[in-house]
Amino acid sequence: MTELAAHGWRGRRRFAEMSVVNLFLLGVGVLAVYPFFVMAFGGFKSAGELATNPSGIPAHPTLTNFSDLFSGPVGSVMWRALLNTFIVTIPYTALVVLFSAMAGYAFAKYRFRGQNVIFGLLIASMLVPPEVNIPALYIMFSRVHWLNSYQVQIIPGTASVLGMFMARQYMRTLPDEVLEAASVDGAGHWRRFWRFAVPMSTPVLGAIAVLTFVFKFTDYLWPLVMVTVPKFQPIMVALPDFATSQTGFIVEYQLVLAGCLVVTIPMLLVFLRFQNALMRGTTAGAVRG
Q: What angle do CA 189, 195, 197 make, to 5 degrees?
A: 75
- Of the candidate ranges 53-62, 97-106, 229-238, the one whose mean pLDDT is the lowest: 53-62
Q: Is 148 left (phi over 0), alpha (psi -120 to 50) or beta?
A: left
CB 100 within 8 Å of CB 253: no
Asked if the structure places residue 56 within a domain, the reply is no
Q: What is the CATH number of the domain that holds 251?
A: 1.10.3720.10
Residue 187: phi and psi, rounded to 5, are -75, 130
Predicted confidence band of residue 102 (pLDDT cuts 50, 70, 90): very high
pLDDT of residue 202: 87
pLDDT in tens, 210-232: 889 989 999 999 999 999 998 99
DSSP class of 158: -
Average pLDDT, the chain: 85
Asked if the structure places residue 258 within a domain, the reply is yes
Q: Judge if 25 and 106 occupy the same domain.
A: no
Identify the three-state secondary structure at position 43: coil
Asked if the structure places residue 54 within a domain, the reply is no
Asked if the structure places residue 154 within a domain, the reply is yes
Q: What are the DSSP E strand ranges found in 129-287?
A: none
pLDDT of residue 15: 76
Mean pLDDT value of segment 55-77: 83
CB 195 within 8 Å of CB 120: no
Q: How many CB atoms lie within 10 A of CB 229?
A: 9
Q: Judge if 274 and 147 occupy the same domain.
A: yes
Residue 289 in this model has a pLDDT that exceeds 50: no
Q: Judge if 70 and 35 occupy the same domain.
A: no
Q: Judge if 78 and 128 occupy the same domain.
A: yes
- Let me know if 85 is exposed, middle or buried by CB neighbors in 10 A (0-12, 13-18, 19+): buried
Predicted confidence band of residue 245 (pLDDT cuts 50, 70, 90): low
Per-range mean pLDDT, top range of 142-156, 245-259, 267-281 = 142-156
Per-range mean pLDDT, top range of 107-116, 152-161, 167-176, 265-274 = 152-161
Q: Judge if 269 and 152 occupy the same domain.
A: yes
Mean pLDDT value of segment 245-270: 78
Q: Judge if 142 and 255 occupy the same domain.
A: yes
Q: Judge if 86 and 200 occupy the same domain.
A: yes
pLDDT of residue 5: 56
> Count H helices, E strands: the chain?
15, 0
Asked if the structure places residue 19 within a domain, the reply is yes
Asked if the structure places residue 112 within a domain, the reply is yes
CB 230 within 8 Å of CB 80: yes
Q: Which domain holds residue 12?
A: 2-42
- Of the candidate ranges 38-47, 118-127, 219-228, the one whose mean pLDDT is the lowest: 38-47
Q: Judge if 233 and 282 occupy the same domain.
A: yes
The count of structural domains within the chain is 2
Q: Judge if 12 and 70 occupy the same domain.
A: no
Predicted confidence band of residue 7 (pLDDT cuts 50, 70, 90): low
Q: Judge if 118 and 168 occupy the same domain.
A: yes
CB 193 within 8 Å of CB 267: no
Q: Judge if 37 and 111 occupy the same domain.
A: no
pLDDT of residue 80: 92
Q: Judge if 75 and 30 occupy the same domain.
A: no
Asked if the structure places residue 26 within a domain, the reply is yes
Asked if the structure places residue 50 within a domain, the reply is no
pLDDT in tens, 172-225: 888 888 878 878 777 778 888 888 888 888 888 988 998 899 899 999 999 999
* Pairwise pLDDT comparison (139 vs 287), residue with the higher score: 139
For 56-115, what is the HEC assignment? CCCCCCCCHHHHHHCCHHHHHHHHHHHHHHHHHHHHHHHHHHHHHHHHHHHHHHCCCCCH
pLDDT of residue 138: 94
Q: How many CB atoms lie within 10 A of CB 17?
A: 10
